[in-house]
Chains A and B, each alone.
Chain A
Amino acid sequence: MRRWLLLQIGRAGLAAWAIASLVFILSRVLATGAEDVILGENSDLQARTLTVSPASQLLARQALRQRLGFTEPVFYVTRSSRDSASWHWHGTHNQYHHWLAGLLHGQLGWSYRDGQPIGPRLRAALGYTLPLTGLAAVITALGAVALGLVLASGPQAETPTGWRAGLQLLLTTLQGIPVFALALGLLFIFANPNALNLLPAYALGDNPANLEPGAYALQLIMPVLTLVLAILPEFTLPLATALHHELRTGYATTARAKGLSTSALLSKHALPNALLPLLTSFAGLLPTLLAGAVLVETVFALPGVGRLLAEAAAAHDYPVVVAGVLFTAIVRLLCLALADILYALADPRIRLAS
């Protein structure tokens, strides 16, 4: 068991490291003009106040390259640009090594745009994202179980009838709508001066700790609602199908024969069996929540991890992007490993080794 666990986590960590390294090297190799981006942003201000001579511009560029560490080679070995047929070994003085060493010391690097360390910023952003996604995950789990039971408790037909058919159609429709369109639609309905003006459209950008609890909760309603609506169908519809399947098995017939009501049969006997295979997919949904947070936080202007990532990508701030990818990958892979472990604990018949 322990060996299998270590293997699982080790594989997850390896994949996270590989994808983050890939993104890091790609961003350093392909994005040769990062200093141009930074100088370009500054030069908008400078151009109005003073004229910059080409020589001083070159100097500024070199100083910037020095500060950002671009003068060093990207990787341990690089191909020299002059004669294409030779490789150079650079030892540990390279950008990748510094990044990796910093990572092992818990230092995620510094933002290109303002030179601030990324770790504290990521932590501050998590203060917004964790309540948002955590709340959405809990509500989705409870709502999916409730709706799944409702959908399955109808007459035993292949396709539901009456209002259950309407509910299923609604869920299928919701499944097709992109998250950002859902968020904009909610925004248009509930926070529109011309329609219902019930909820605040934008966060005030304050620390949630300083905010009154009521105002904070009010701000969270729409983002959480968007995430729940976006993810609920993906979990409810398979659960309803699984419940239907369980109701056709032998033990369900036995339970009915001894006089159990359908609701008791569903919640006591069918639900645990139907829920088990969905454990893995629920763990897979947590990272999907994180991807949804990118859009929800952009639409509702919450300064969370998703918006940090989207803004960094739009502004070519690669260290922040790489840190965000690493974080997302670790969360996703840990979730998957956790789901496997829970799966094995919940059903001992499953062979761990396979």
Chain B
Amino acid sequence: MSKPRRVPSSGLTILAISWLLIIAVIGLLAPWLPLPFAPGVPDLLHVAEPPNWQAVPRHWLGTDPMGRDVLTEVVYSAQQVVILSLPAALLSALVGALAGGSAGFWGNRGWRLPLGAWLLGLALLWWLAALPGGTRMAGLLCAMALLAWWAAPRWPWVGRANWPLPLDSLFQAALTLLGAVPRLVLIITLAAGPPLSTAQLLLLLVAVAWPEPARQVRAHMLQVRELPFVEAAWAAGLPASRVWLRHALPHACRPLQTLVPLNLAGLIGLESTLAFLGVGRPPDVSSWGRLLGMLHQEPGAWWLLASAGSGLLLTLLALQRLARVATTA
């Protein structure tokens, strides 16, 4: 595999990319599109009707068992993809890159914090947890931290007092904890409360989606760390944070260009699964998953399966295609 493989039939790739662009544009412009029906408004005279292009209130794609226009619902589902799944995929990639990148770069011993920083962290914890003494104790610890910071260059024994932060162990513990339960079960459990707002669901999706990019970036970082150009950066006397951010991290993030489309596909699947189960979202939010779930009430509704199913499926397949192109490119 020395030379890059040519991507077979690039016409499919162009098709996939244009489909994704269409979905993005529809999703962004959903409130301004000239749709004949508003979202979530039932047309009770036409319930669960197949598409009929001659009838007077024209439901282009039919109506669902609650009388809502399927075309409107499909368009507003694309909006969910743009405002929920896409930011979640990008944010989880960012969190994963930072967490995995730092755990891989510094390991358990690499990041040594001086006494002052430890005292400052302790003060912050003390204050946040409101332990006895509260603000006064936190202030005292802050003063000690300042003293340590002042004393470090002057008294050698204070300057030598620094301990490493076990970044890699903390990282692995977080991954083990989040990986203990399949991510669908975890998200069902955490979303079991009252319906969440979009921002809360976004945070929840990021919380379950960041381990995969983080694991890959960490694995890649372990290799990049040993490469000659990173060594050269160290030898040039650059500070550690600069070596990490400007030299090692951009290379360690290479697996992300495949992973972000796949992660996005996974998150769209997860979001529609949640909508299908009716967990976590208010029941009036449009989603391909909720439309497909209506098949349970109306097993013969082929127009629901055709419209929502093709919307979901084509998007996921296009993302898969994009990921493969990114791998071979």
Given contacts A201-B299, A313-B192, A325-B189, contact A79 B130 (CB under 8 A): yes
A27 contacts B192, CB within 8 Å? Answer: yes
Enumerate chain B residues within 8 angstroms of A158, measured Cβ to Cβ: 1, 5
In the complex, the answer to whether B130 meets A328 with C-beta atoms within 8 Å is no
- From A172, A187, A288, A329, name the one whose CB has the most chain B CB atoms within 10 angstroms: A329
B316 adjacent to chain A (CB < 8 Å)? yes
Contact present for A180 and B182 (CB under 8 Å)? no
The A-B contact count (CB < 8 A) is 140
Q: Check if A313 sits within 8 Å of B292, measured CB to CB.
A: no
Interface residues on B, range: 35 or more
Q: Within the assembled complex, what's the spacing in Å between the Cα atoms of A15 and B189?
A: 17
Chain B residue at smallest Cβ distance from A27: B192
Query: By the criterion CB–CB under 8 Å, are B295 and A321 in contact?
Result: no
Say whether A172 contacts B299, CB under 8 Å: no
Q: How large is the interface on A (under 10, 10 to 19, 20 to 34, 35 or more residues)?
A: 35 or more
Does B185 count as interface, using CB distance less than 8 angstroms? yes
Q: Please, what's the 1-or-0 string for B124-154, where 1 marks a CB less than 8 Å from any CB in chain A?
A: 0000001110100000000000000000000
From A17, which residue of chain B is reached at the shortest CB distance?
B180
Q: Does the CB pair A309–B295 fall under 8 Å? A: no
**Known contacts A85-B130, A188-B299, A291-B182; is-contact A309 B276 (Cβ 8 Å):** no
Do the beta carbons of A313 and B189 come within 8 Å of each other? yes
Give the residues in chain A near B33, CB-CB below 8 Å: none
A325 touches B185 (CB 8 A): yes
Cα-based distance from A159 to B6 in the complex (angstroms): 11
The answer to whether A178 and B181 touch across the interface, beta carbons within 8 angstroms, is: no
CB 8 Å contact bits of A160-201 with B (1 = contact, 0 = none): 000000000000110111111100110110011110000001
The complex places the Cα of A149 from the Cα of B300 at a distance, in Å, of: 39
Q: With A294-B185, A328-B185 known to touch, is A22 a contact of B177 (CB < 8 Å)?
A: yes
* Contact status B278-A328, CB under 8 Å: no
Does A16 sit at the interface, judged by CB under 8 A? yes
Q: How far is the CA of A23 from the CA of B278 in the complex (A)?
A: 20
Q: Which of A185, A194, A332 is close to B309, meaning CB atoms less than 8 Å apart?
A: A185
CB distance from A113 to the nearest CB of B (A): 13
Contact yes or no, A310 B189, CB < 8 A: no
> Is A86 interfacial (CB-CB < 8 Å)?
yes
Task: Mark out the residues of chain B between 224 and 283 whose CB falls within 8 Å of any chain A CB in the assembled complex.
Answer: 265, 269-270, 272-273, 276-279
Tell whether A130 is near chain B: CB-to-CB under 8 Å.
no
A324-336: contact bitstring with B at CB < 8 Å (1 yes, 0 no)? 1100110011000
The residue that A316 contacts in the complex, of B1, B132, B183, B192, with Cβ under 8 A, is B192
B191 at the interface (CB under 8 A from A): yes
Interface string of A3-31 (1 = CB under 8 A from B): 00000000100011011001100110011
Question: Cβ of A172 and Cβ of B276 under 8 Å apart?
Answer: no
Q: Which residue of A lies closest to B133 (CB)?
A: A85
Closest to A201 in B: B299
B190 contacts partner chain A, Cβ-Cβ < 8 Å: yes
A31 in contact with B193 (CB, 8 Å): yes
**Segment 1-55 of B: residues with Cβ below 8 Å from A:** 1, 5, 8
Q: Is the CB of A325 within 8 A of B181?
A: yes
B189 touches A291 (CB 8 A): no
Are B192's CB and A318's CB within 8 A? yes
Q: Which residues of A contact B (CB under 8 A)?
A: 11, 15-16, 18-19, 22-23, 26-27, 30-31, 33, 79, 84-87, 158-159, 172-173, 175-181, 184-185, 187-188, 191-194, 201, 287-288, 290-291, 294-295, 298-299, 309-310, 312-314, 316, 318, 321, 324-325, 328-329, 332-333
19 residue pairs A–B, Cβ–Cβ below 8 Å: A15-B180, A18-B177, A26-B190, A27-B192, A85-B134, A172-B320, A177-B316, A178-B269, A178-B270, A187-B295, A288-B182, A290-B182, A294-B188, A294-B277, A295-B273, A295-B276, A298-B277, A313-B191, A314-B192
Task: Using A193-B300, A310-B277 as known contacts, list a sample of 10 further A-B pairs with CB atoms less than 8 Å apart, ordered by residue number in A.
Answer: A23-B190, A176-B319, A178-B269, A181-B292, A290-B185, A310-B188, A314-B279, A318-B192, A321-B189, A321-B192
